[in-house]
Each structure stands twice: as C-alpha cells, then as structure tokens.
Structure 1
Amino acid sequence: MHTQTDVVARLCGAVKRYGSLTALDGVDLVLQRGELLAVLGPNGAGKSTSISLLLGLMEPDQGRAELFGMDPVQIDACRRIGVMLQSAMLPATLQVGELLRLVSSYYPNPRPLEESAALAGVGDLLKRPYGKLSGGQQRRVQFALALCGRPELLFLDEPTVGMDIDARRKLWAAMRALVAEGCSVVLTTHYLEEAEALAQRVIVMAKGRVLSDGSVDALRARVPLTHIRCVTDLHADVIANWPQVVSAERDGTRMRISTSAAEHVLRRLLDADASLSELEVQRASLADAFTALTNEETVEQEAA
C-alpha cells in the first residue's frame, strides 16, 4: 500500500471521449516516487491521452488526474515536472546554451547548466544554434531542457526516436542516474527493448484500457514460451511436429524453435543430432508478451 507522499502522479477512473470515440475507459494509474514506469500500447491505445491528462493539457470527462496530490494545472505542480514530448517547437536561432539558461530560469532550483548539458550529452553543442542541429542532436537538447529544472517527475514521450545507438545508450544511462536521485519517470516508447532495459514497472494499454500492470518479469511470465536457437542438420518440419513445439523455422544457418517445454525439447535435440552446436536458450521477451497480450485484446474485441 502506497502512502500519499509516495505517490507523485495518479489517474483515478479516468474517462476521456472525443465525440463517439472513447480514448480512455476508466483508467487507473499510480506512479510512485523514484519509479520508472513504461507505458506501452499500439497506436490509439490511450497513452498520449493519459499523459495529456496528467500534464493538465486536457481534463477528464469522468474521474480525476493528480500531480503530487494537486490539480495538474496548478503552478506548484507544474514547477516539479519536466516534459519531453514527441515534437518541440523551439527557437531555431537560439544557441543550445541560451535555451538551457532560458528554460532553467523558469524553475526555483535548476541544475547548473554544465550538469544538465553533461547528463544529456550536449556539452559540445552549447554554442551551436538549435536549428542547425541534426534530429538526434535536437532530441538530446530537448532531454536537457526537460531535466534542467531538477524535476521530481519526468515525462518522456518517445525520447530516443532519431538517435543513434550510442546516443540512445547514453540517454538510458542518464535516465537511470535520474531515477537513482529519486526522480520518477513516465516513459512512453515503441522500442520494447528500451522498456525492458529501463522500466521497473510496465503498463500495457489498448483501446483505452489497461491490460496489464506489473514488472517486466511478471509480464513475461504471461507467455510460457522459450526460444531455442542452434545449428543443426535436422529439418524444421520434423522439429515442428514434436510435442510441445509451437514453431520451428530456419533463420539463415540456424534453427529457431519456440516451445512451452524447453527442457524436453533440448534433450530431444541433443539425442537426435550429436553434431548440434551454437545452442542458445532465451525466455520470452517483453516483445513476445506485448504481442500476445495485445493480440488477446484484439480477439476479445472481435468476439464481442
């Protein structure tokens, strides 16, 4: 049970409609202090609407939204958050350092400019005009602007879109550092490996409802599949007909097998092919669980 001081953001029975479309259908969401929460879902799931309610950009038709126990539009709540949305209209002619100084001035206790720049990896861009930066560099600047006010709660909407692998990993490290400081983070992302690497808790949404709320491991556990990869002379059709094998197919020189009974299948593989090599065993990924969960929701909707 969470105490009131532990909770930094909350949706209670939130309903939001756009004409005949129900974007949110009674959503409950609680975010604790120092927690990184990933909100996942296909397009139209209700992720952006949920964030908009928490940011005070719109009001729910039913239920309520809270930040730090307050209405999200209250200035005392707004000063305690940082926001990085999917797109940002920033003055193209201002230098990165000027933008950071400007945004920092809105907060009562901002980070030193150099610290914000270092966390976001933009220290070498401070003298550059924002409009002259690449898309990935602009995203890093937007991240720096989101964290420069020393927020207690950070909203990150698809933060690593347009970034290369190195920049993405550096931003992941910065997120972990912020959480270690006690900052809470709400992350929406289509990169499931990003959520798997970072999130302490994952919410999966579809059609305006929460389908699952729990740890990454708990979500994975809903898919009782293990993936086996190996180099073998056995034919895929033969393996696919074994009991408890869900699928078997060639992936280049390797065989990829999905099964609900990994130990049984491994023993049979080793017995059937003495030359078997390069064996890898992986449990179900977050992507597997997400796909299974959203597919279940689609089937239920169509059946209704």
Structure 2
Amino acid sequence: MTTTTAPPTTTSVVRFEDVHKSYGAVHAVAGLSLTLHPGETVALLGPNGAGKSSALDLLLGLRNADSGTVTLFGTSPQEAIAAGRVGAMLQSGGLMEEVRVRELVKLARDLHPRPYPVSEVLARAGITQIADRMINKLSGGQEQRVRFALATAGANDLIVLDEPTTGMDVTARQAFWATMKEQADQGRTVLFATHYLEEADAIADRVLVLYKGRLLADGTAAEIKAKAGARRISFDLDPGEHGAIDENDLRELPFLSSLSVSGTTVRIQSHDADATVHALYRAGLYPNNLEVAGLGLEQAFVALTEAEEARTA
C-alpha cells in the first residue's frame, strides 16, 4: 500500500480558544480551549449532551462559533478542508444509494488533492469484496466501513471520526484500529469520539473528557484513571445465618464512593482502598477472594462526571 507521510508542520493541528456555542438557552460549548498536535491519537469522551458533536461540527466548519476561535493548521476549518488536509467520518448524513461502492469511493478520491489509488482505499477499509455491491444493499457495519473509506480516500493530515466502529464486528473493529495506528505512525492526527470506552483505553494516547461543553479532563488514559481518585475492591462474604449480606454494615465503611452486592459478591469503589480494607477486618468482616485494582477508564469516566454533576448541582 502507498504510505504518504504527512507534511511537516510547526503549528498546532487543531486549536480551540475560549470557544462558545449556544442553541437558544442550551450552552453546547462553553469556553472550550484545547490544542491537538501532529501524530496524536485522541479520544473525545463525554456523556450525552456533553458537547462532543457540537465541538466536532465547529472543528469541521459545519457551524460557526458564537465567540472564540477554531483553527486547523493555523487556518480556518473551511480552508484546511478545501486544501484536503482533513478527512471526516460522521454518524449523520446518508450515503448515495443508487451507486456501487467502488463508484462512490472513486468519486471521493477524484475530489481529493492527494488521492490514494481506489484499490488501496478499498483494501484499507476492508471492502474490496463488496466493491461492486450497491450502497443500498449494505449492512450497517458495511456502511460504516464505506464511510471510513471515504474519509481516508486521500492523504489527510487530520482524520476525524465520530463513533467510527458502531455496527462493526470484533474482527472489523480490530482491523479498523490497526489502520488508524498506521495513519498515526505516519504523523497524522486521529481524533475520535466513541462510547466504546475500552477502545479509548486501548488505542488513544490522549483522552479528552467533555462535560456540559467544557473540558473536564485531559491526559493519558492512565492519568484520567488516576484523576478519578478511586480504586475497585471486590470480594466474597459469608451471607451469615440470615442467608443475606447486611449492606448496612458495608455502607459504614470509610471512603466509599459506590457499593453493589450481587449474591455473596461485593464490589466497592473507594477513595482510600487501604483504609477501606482495614475497616473491613476491624468490623469483623472477613472477605474471601479479595481483589484491589485501579479503575478502568469507564469507571473513572463515570466517577469524574458524577463528581462534577454533584459539584455543579
């Protein structure tokens, strides 16, 4: 396959500076400032209504900010896109139906100033075998791979992906991210929004968490987990003479942020795991199969957003 390295750049790839965007009384983006750099793979996370889609719309020039500035490669989003520096794969927007896959891919690469060969685009997206199929005969996962092909029909310096692997099976998702890693290794910046937090944990070298239009957290997945400030504790307990675990005793443990009991298995999140475990034994509770581990990215994400919700309520 052709490997075209992204041209060197001394400027940022993406820059938001105190950006605001409202829709009536809804502040979708509220003073957002961030910078993306060449070669980064960045996950954009946030609960529904956090402002992810609005931020991507501003980045791609689909909407204009009410105030603040959005620049790509030191120019406006429209200029960067016209120069063929940006490829995007969005959830919204349909595909032309009465054409074949190969025809649609050929159109996309013919419009790109730095196109790849059609055969290469098809192979990279894993759609060579369906190249002669009509668009309206595709499954949801196949449509996603066609959208990916259109977004990577040329040598873009920035690739923007909104929920890119929705509808793909495990094999297709693995192949997709292997391709994205190749793009990043060639110096391109990959920005993706996803609800699959395990993908962000495994793939992104930087994670941005949006909440109510603001940047709540920015760092590596490990840093985001550490920022949540909690650890997971799981163990089994003897249900006792009444055949059930008394949750009231467990809720008295110090530093708990969450508690769940399923049968004889107890799962806890604690802001001081050592103190919580010591208190277990002092309370006369003797756990079996005790495990203490850091939060996964999903649990950290939930902990951060719930803490922010409580702080701003």
The equivalences for 1:144-293 within 5 A come to: 144-233=149-238, 235=245, 237=247, 241-244=252-255, 246-251=257-262, 254-263=265-274, 276-277=288-289, 280-293=291-304
Structure 1 residues 281 and 31: alpha-carbon distance in aligned structure 2, compared to 1, 3 A threshold: same
Distance 2:21 2:272 in 1: 43
Deviation at 1:77, TM superposition (A): 5.0
Distance 2:51 2:254 in 1: 40
Contact persistence 2:12–2:36 (CA under 8 A): yes
Structure 1 residues 4 and 111: alpha-carbon distance in aligned structure 2, compared to 1, 3 A threshold: closer
Contact persistence 2:11–2:73 (CA under 8 A): no
Query: Structure 2: which 5+ residue stretches go unaligned?
Result: 1-7, 240-244
Distance 2:95 2:260 in 1: 49
Report SS of the residue matched to 1:110. Answer: coil
For 1:142, give the aligned amino acid: R
Structure 1 residues 89 and 15: alpha-carbon distance in aligned structure 2, compared to 1, 3 A threshold: same
Match of 1:137 in 2: 142
Deviation at 1:76, TM superposition (A): 6.2
Give the TM-score normalised by the residue count of structure 1: 0.87
Contact persistence 2:45–2:193 (CA under 8 A): yes
Report SS of the residue matched to 2:261. Answer: strand
Distance 1:281 1:112 in 2: 51
Deviation at 1:266, TM superposition (A): 6.1
Match of 1:8 in 2: 13
Distance 1:118 1:285 in 2: 34
Alignment RMSD? 2.6
Structure 1 residues 261 and 206: alpha-carbon distance in aligned structure 2, compared to 1, 3 A threshold: closer
For 1:172, give the aligned amino acid: W
Structure 1 residues 200 and 75: alpha-carbon distance in aligned structure 2, compared to 1, 3 A threshold: closer
Contact persistence 1:36–1:201 (CA under 8 A): yes
Q: Do residues 102 (structure 1) and 107 (structure 2) align?
A: yes
Report SS of the residue matched to 1:93. Answer: coil
Contact persistence 1:226–1:281 (CA under 8 A): yes
Distance 2:191 2:273 in 1: 35
Contact persistence 1:68–1:77 (CA under 8 A): no
Superposed CA deviations along residues 216-274 of structure 1, whole A, max 9, x for unmatched, are 111111222222334553646455544455555433564323334445666867x9759
Match of 2:47 in 1: 42
- Within the candidate set 8, 18, 24, 1:19 is matched to 24
Superposed CA deviations along residues 183-214 of structure 1, whole A, max 9, x for unmatched, are 10111112222211221111111222111122
Deviation at 1:47, TM superposition (A): 1.4
Distance 1:221 1:91 in 2: 45
Contact persistence 2:11–2:74 (CA under 8 A): no
Report SS of the residue matched to 1:5. Answer: coil
Superposed CA deviations along residues 78-100 of structure 1, whole A, max 9, x for unmatched, are 51111100033222121111111
Distance 2:26 2:276 in 1: 47
Identify which range, 102-111 or 251-260, moves more after superposition.
Answer: 251-260
Distance 2:25 2:256 in 1: 44
Query: Structure 1: which 5+ residue stretches go unaligned?
Result: none
